[in-house]
Copies of this chain bind each other. A is one copy, B any other.
Amino acid sequence: MTSRPDAGGREKPRVVIVGGGFGGLEAARALAKADAEVVLFDRHNHHLFQPLLYQIATAALSPANIAAPIRKILAKQENCDVIMSEVTEVDLESRTVTVTDQRYAYDYLVLAAGARTNYFGNDAWSEVAPGLKNISEAIEVRSRFLLAFEQAEIETDEEARRAALTFVIVGAGPTGVELAGAMAEISRQTLRADFRRIDTSTVRVILIDAVDRVLSTFTPELSDRAQRDLEQLGVEVVLSTKVVDVQPGLLTVETPEGEERIEAANVFWAAGVRGVRLGGTLGVELDRGGRVIVGDDLTIPGRADVFVVGDLAHRIDPHTEELVPGVAQGAIQMGRFAGETIASEVRALSRGSLAPERGVFAYRDKGSMATIGRNRAIADIHGLRFGGFLAFLAWAFIHVLSLIGFRRRLMVMLEWIWSYLTLDRGVRLITGEDQVPKPVKPPPDTRLLGRDT
C-alpha cells in the first residue's frame, strides 16, 4: 500500500470525518475510545433523521422532531471536535481537505457526505420540482403543497383551479410513495372541512415512475399491494412513464403510448439521488450515479487512508453481489466499519505493533419497510413479508425507536397518536416570504365586489 497512514508530525493521528449523517456519526462513535483527534465537519449544525423527512414535507412533524444538533450528540465524546463548515475538496497527495478556502490535514479521512437529488442532467428542473433532501427543501415542499389549496380557493378560473389542485410526484421509491400517500390522505381527510369553495376530494395526486412497479426494491407481490393501497387512497399510479420535460405548470411525459402532457401547478421530485460533488474531487472512478467506487475495506484504490461510506459510496456486497442500498442501515454499518477499522489501526500504531489485516465489509440486511398511509405499509424482514396494519405498526415502532433521544421519541409518538386519532396534521404552516397566493385569472369585478352594480 502506498499510503498506509502514520501519525504525521502530530502526537495523535487525526481522523477527519465529512458529514454528520448516519454514516459520519456512526464512524465518529466507533472512534470514541481511540487515541486519536477526531474532527467531524458538516454544512448543517444538525443530524437529520432522513427517513422521516417526508413527514415534515407533509405537515405531520416539526423539523426539531427529527433533527438534533450534531455537537450535542457528540458532546460527551471528548476526542471529537464538531465544526460547522463545508468541505469542498479533497487532495489525496497532500492528504488535506479544503474547508472555507483553507487546507486541513488528515491522517485518516472518512467521506460520509451523502447524496443530492438526481435530476438526470436537468438541474434546471429543480426550480419547478423541488427535491427532498434537507429541512429547507422539506419546508419548501410543505409550503407549496399547502399554498396550492389556498390558491385554488381564490381561483375563479376552473382550469387554473384544477391545475392548482394537481400534484405530481416523480419517482415511486419509498419517498415518492410516502409523499403521494400522505398528500392524498391530507386532501381527502384533513383539509376536507376547512375550505368553503373547493372540494378537496377532487384533488389529483399522480405518482409517476419510469419502471413498471412502485417500490421496485421490494418483491412484486409487495409492490402490488402498495399500489393497491395507493389507489385506494386516491393516488393515480402511472408506471413505465418517463418525465421528459418540466416547465412551470406543465409536465411532459413519455408513456408506452407516446408523449403526453400533464397540467399541474405542483411537481415534487423523488426520482433518485446521486453522490455529492465532493466525491468527484477525489479523481477516482465514480459510478453513473456519482458514487465513489470503493474496495472491500471501503477505501478508494491505492489510498488505505480514505474511506467512503453511506450514500456517497458504491459498494457491491460480496454475498448478494448487489449494491449496498442507500438506506440508513447501509450508512450506519459502513460508518461503523470505517470507524472500527481506523480505531484498531490507531491502537496498533500506538503500541508500536503492525496494523492488523483489514476486514471485508459485508452488509447485513435487517429488512426493509415502507409506509403508504394510515394503517397501510409493507414490510420484508428476512423473507417474512407482510402488509397492512401490522406493517404500519412495526414501521412506526421501529422509526420511533430509531430517533435520537427520549424527548424526540416521546414527542413523535404523541404527534403520531394524535394524528392517528384525529386525522389532523399538526404543522400546517406556510412560512417564508412572499407566499401570498394570487389568482391566475382575476374574477369579474361584479362578482368580487359582491354588489349588484
| A residues at B contact (CB < 8 Å) | 8-10, 14, 37, 43-46, 62-65, 67, 69, 71-72, 75-76, 81, 83-86, 96, 100-105, 135-136, 139, 146-147, 150, 153-154, 193-196, 407, 410-411, 414-415, 418, 424, 426-433, 436-439, 442-443, 445, 448-453
Contact = CB atoms under 8 A, between A and B. Distances in A.
Contact of A194 (B69, B437, B450): B69
Q: Count chain B CB atoms within 10 A of each CB in A37, A45, A63 and give the residue with the most.
A: A45
B154 A451 contact: no
B196 A46 contact: no
Contacts of A147: 45, 84
A136 to B, nearest CB: 6
A2 B254 CA distance: 65
Contacts of A105: 449-451
7 contacts: A9-B452, A10-B452, A64-B426, A75-B193, A105-B449, A136-B431, A139-B431
Contact of A63 (B86, B135, B431): B431
Contacts of A86: 436
Contacts of A72: 194, 424, 428
Nearest to A139: B431
A188 B44 CA distance: 23
A427 B64 contact: yes
Nearest to A422: B407
A365 to B, nearest CB: 32
- Ordered nearest first, which 9 A-B pairs have the shortest CB separation? A62-B62, A9-B452, A64-B427, A84-B150, A45-B430, A71-B194, A105-B449, A69-B428, A75-B194
